[in-house]
Amino acid sequence: MRFLNIEDEMKYFQRMFLLRKEIENFLYNEGFMNIEPSIFEGYDEFISVNSRIDKKTTVKILDSNKDILILAPDITTGIINKFMPRWEYGLKLKIFYYGKTYKYNGTGIKENREMGVEILGEKNENTDQDTLNVANRILNKYSENYLIEIGSSKFLKGIISACSFKKEDYHNILDFLYSKNKQELREYLEKLPYKEPMRTLYNILELEGSYEEITYQLKDMYLNDLAREGLEELKAIDSCMKNITDKIIYDLSLVSELSYYDGIIFRGYIEGSNKAIIKGGRYDSFTEQYGYKVPAIGFTVELDELSKILYREDV
Amino acid sequence: MSLTIAIPKGRLGTQAIEIFKRAGLGECIDEKSRKLVFEDKKRNLKFILLKNSDVITYVENGVADIGISGKDMVMESGGDVFELYKMNIGKCKMSVAGIKGKKIFKDDTILKVATKFPETAKKYFRGRGQRIKTIKLNGSIELAPILGLSDVIVDLVETGNTLKANGLEVFEDMYQISAMIISNKISYKFKRKEIKEIIELIRREEENGKDN
């Protein structure tokens, strides 16, 4: 058995460099502009907007004013923090970045290379589809066996907020959705005082598959305006993505670790990898805490994971 | 598309294999042999036999697509897997127990809890607002309060006979435990139909079993 030597390590760096350059060039040619993200975030600020993130995994630092900072566990938050206070009405930005995110993973600090895309200030009927299309083209470039999974945080929010759960119940229910634990979700709901929207929540884990399968399942279920709005967005996407139907699955119980999403959420998977390669979604309401709502959508590409599966046969 | 299924060795595994066989899956598994991998070529399934606490590790890392693991293991490991189906086997409770009659603890003290499941115990007592110190043990948990190692224990209780024989009693039931069919999160995306089909076969078999 031989362990990693300098030659192999250099090979790895060159591959990463080329992969990164290739995607950067693609995005640049698609009209995205490059920015360099900051690696520090304010701890309190970050936690307040990302309530589902596991606080233990953040890498904390004290600065000289004794403020607690963290090494960015996510880059989008930092970009929004940077731009929103100075945002000008009518501005449109299509940006991409390369950066590293940091998390404790039990044994130490895990550094993760990420490439990301954000479209800020633009929202017309095509923006969601265009973004998905860019994601699709990146996946398609590197594998034939990939899937894009799409959910709607509006749908989920519409149903869950209509149930007006107590905080503890709310978190437990999200955990059941997160682990697709249908039986325990139902047992839990049966113990709570009945409200009509719970009918949909009761069956929400069945709402996965093609768009047709979902709409079929949705018959006779409780819906409200926000949930319907979410479904309309998915319908619009579905009608535009007919050419790649076999690559798309919908999952209306999709819960994101980052709580700022507000509209479609999506993930991209490549067969053989044990992580999502692409993660993203719309997050308009995230910008709202700076005073005005700026439409925003984006996604990240997990470069480390992508390079791992592209070159696995060599190892 | 082929599926890899992780089955725990031991009593739970034996029960699970029986149900699988009745459902027409895994005819090839021979528990008496020393082999650890069995292939059901007809159905395109691969069964791997593992130590029960390792099932979740194999599934979480995608080496196995689905597996059978006790809910206790799933909670304790905090593994990022889907918990798709709760089976009718491996049923018991996770409970807090201690020396019979010694149920009162001053609220300013830190409760010493001996257990195989420190993470689950921490989570449970945090929810109850009780500060605890966990003492991780690997067996004969019942001894801990008797010999003064801990105030209480958190353990799986099936009949309560072991507790009773050692002068202990259940103070509080924490969770209902049973065997779960868990799935790797990414495998589920690519093999959803196949996985759901297996679960449906198992579910039907268990339902039929109930009637008989």
CATH code of residue A167: 3.30.930.10
Closest CA in chain A for residue B180: A181
Rg of chain B's alpha carbons, rounded to an integer? 19
- Nearest-CB residue to A274 (from B86, B183, B186): B186
Report the domain count for chain A. 2
Same domain, A164 and A108: no
Residue B28 backbone phi and psi in degrees, to 5? -75, -15
Give the bridge partners for B115, in sequence order: B136, B154
C-alpha B135/C-alpha B157 separation (Å) is: 18
Inside any domain, residue A224: yes
CB B64 within 8 A of CB B46: no
CB A155 within 8 A of CB A256: no
Inside any domain, residue A133: no
Closest CA in chain B for residue A246: B190
Same domain, B84 and B183: yes
Burial class (CB in 10 A: 0-12, 13-18, 19+), B182: buried
Token pair for B124: 């449970």
Cβ of residue A110 closer than 8 Å to a chain B Cβ: no
Cβ of residue A54 closer than 8 Å to a chain B Cβ: no
Same domain, B182 and B85: yes
Closest CA in chain A for residue B186: A274
C-alpha B167/C-alpha B103 separation (Å) is: 13
C-alpha A243/C-alpha A251 separation (Å) is: 19
Q: Which residues of A touch B85 (CB under 8 A)?
A: 182-183
- Nearest-CB residue to B83 (from A181, A249, A275): A181
Same domain, B183 and B86: yes
Same domain, A114 and A51: yes
DSSP secondary structure letters along B153-167: EEEEESSSHHHHHTT
- Nearest-CB residue to A180 (from B62, B83, B190): B83
Inside any domain, residue A212: yes
Domain boundaries, position A147: 141-282
- Nearest-CB residue to A274 (from B61, B84, B85): B61
- Nearest-CB residue to A273 (from B81, B186, B188): B186
Same domain, A183 and A163: yes
Q: Do B84 and A271 touch (CB under 8 A)?
A: no
- Which residue in B4, B176, B186, B195 has the most chain A C-beta atoms within 10 A of its own C-beta, making it the best mutation to test that interface? B186
Same domain, A117 and A196: no
- Is the four-CA dihedral A188, A194, A198, A199 of positive or negative sign? positive
At A220 the pLDDT is 87
DSSP secondary structure letters along chain A: -----HHHHHHHHHHHHHHHHHHHHHHHHTT-EEE---SEEEHHHHHHH-TTS-GGGSEEEE-TT--EEEE-S-SHHHHHHHHGGG--TT--EEEEEEEEEEEE-SSSEEEEEEEEEEEES--STTHHHHHHHHHHHHHHHH-SSEEEEEEEHHHHHHHHHHH---HHHHHHHHHHHHTT-HHHHHHHHHHSPP-TTHHHHHTGGG-EESHHHHHHHHTT----HHHHHHHHHHHHHHHH-GGGGGGEEEETT---SSTT-BSEEEEEEETT-SS-SEEEEEBHHHHHTTTS---EEEEEEEHHHHHHHHTGGG-
CB B10 within 8 A of CB B52: yes
Q: Which residues of A touch B86 (CB under 8 A)?
A: 181, 183-184
Q: Do B189 and A180 touch (CB under 8 A)?
A: no
Same domain, B167 and B114: yes
* SS3 state of residue B92: strand
Closest CA in chain A for residue B75: A179
Q: Which residues of A touch B124 (CB under 8 A)?
A: none
Q: Do B62 and A149 touch (CB under 8 A)?
A: no
Report the domain count for chain B. 2
Cβ of residue A183 closer than 8 Å to a chain B Cβ: yes
Inside any domain, residue A305: yes
* SS3 state of residue B140: coil
Q: Do B186 and A269 touch (CB under 8 A)?
A: yes
At A2 the pLDDT is 78
Q: Which residues of chain B are modeled with pLDDT < 70?
A: 106-108, 210-212
Closest CA in chain A for residue B87: A183
Cβ of residue B170 closer than 8 Å to a chain A Cβ: no
Same domain, B166 and B207: no
Angle at B34 between CA B30 and CA B36, to 5 degrees: 75
Same domain, A226 and A189: yes
Closest CA in chain A for residue B1: A271
At B212 the pLDDT is 54
Same domain, A221 and A88: no
CA nearest neighbour of A158 among A233, A267, A213: A233
Q: Measured between CA atoms, how close is A274 to chain B, in angstroms?
A: 6
Give the bridge partners for A266, in sequence order: A150, A280
Inside any domain, residue A247: yes
Inside any domain, residue A235: yes
For B54-63, write each residue's pLDDT tens digit: 999 999 999 9
- Which residue in B83, B91, B124 has the most chain A C-beta atoms within 10 A of its own C-beta, making it the best mutation to test that interface? B83
Q: Measured between CA atoms, how close is A179 to chain B, in angstroms?
A: 4
Same domain, B12 and B41: yes
* SS3 state of residue B24: coil
At A1 the pLDDT is 74
Q: Which residues of B touch A207 (CB under 8 A)?
A: none
pLDDT per residue, tens digit, chain A (315 aa), is 777 789 988 998 999 999 999 999 999 999 999 999 989 988 988 887 776 678 889 999 998 888 999 999 989 888 988 888 889 989 999 999 999 999 998 889 999 999 999 999 988 888 999 999 999 999 999 999 999 999 999 999 999 999 999 998 998 999 999 999 999 999 999 999 999 999 999 999 999 999 999 999 998 899 999 999 999 999 999 998 888 889 999 999 998 766 677 899 999 999 989 999 999 999 888 888 777 889 999 999 999 999 988 887 554
C-alpha A244/C-alpha A12 separation (Å) is: 32
Same domain, B55 and B67: yes
- Nearest-CB residue to B86 (from A147, A183, A269): A183
Same domain, A176 and A229: yes
Q: Which residues of A touch B190 (CB under 8 A)?
A: 145, 147, 269, 271
Inside any domain, residue A66: yes
Same domain, A243 and A160: yes
Give the bridge partners for B67, in sequence order: B6, B182
Token pair for A305: 């994971």
Same domain, A60 and A3: yes
User: Residues near A123 by Cβ (< 8 Å), separated by ≥ 6?
Assistant: A284, A295, A297
Q: Measured between CA atoms, how close is A177 to chain B, in angstroms?
A: 9
Same domain, A98 and A214: no
Token pair for B104: 């009162």
Same domain, A278 and A149: yes
Domain boundaries, position B63: 3-90+178-211
Same domain, A219 and A297: no
At A315 the pLDDT is 46
Inside any domain, residue A219: yes
CB A81 within 8 A of CB A259: no
CA nearest neighbour of B119 among B175, B163, B159: B175
Burial class (CB in 10 A: 0-12, 13-18, 19+), A96: buried
Q: What is the CATH number of the domain that holds B184?
A: 3.40.190.10
- Nearest-CB residue to A184 (from B82, B86, B183): B86
In degrees to the nearest 10, what's the CA dihedral of A183, A188, A193, A195? -50
* SS3 state of residue B49: strand
Same domain, B76 and B152: no
CB A161 within 8 A of CB A155: no
Q: Which residues of A touch B188 (CB under 8 A)?
A: 180
* SS3 state of residue B133: strand
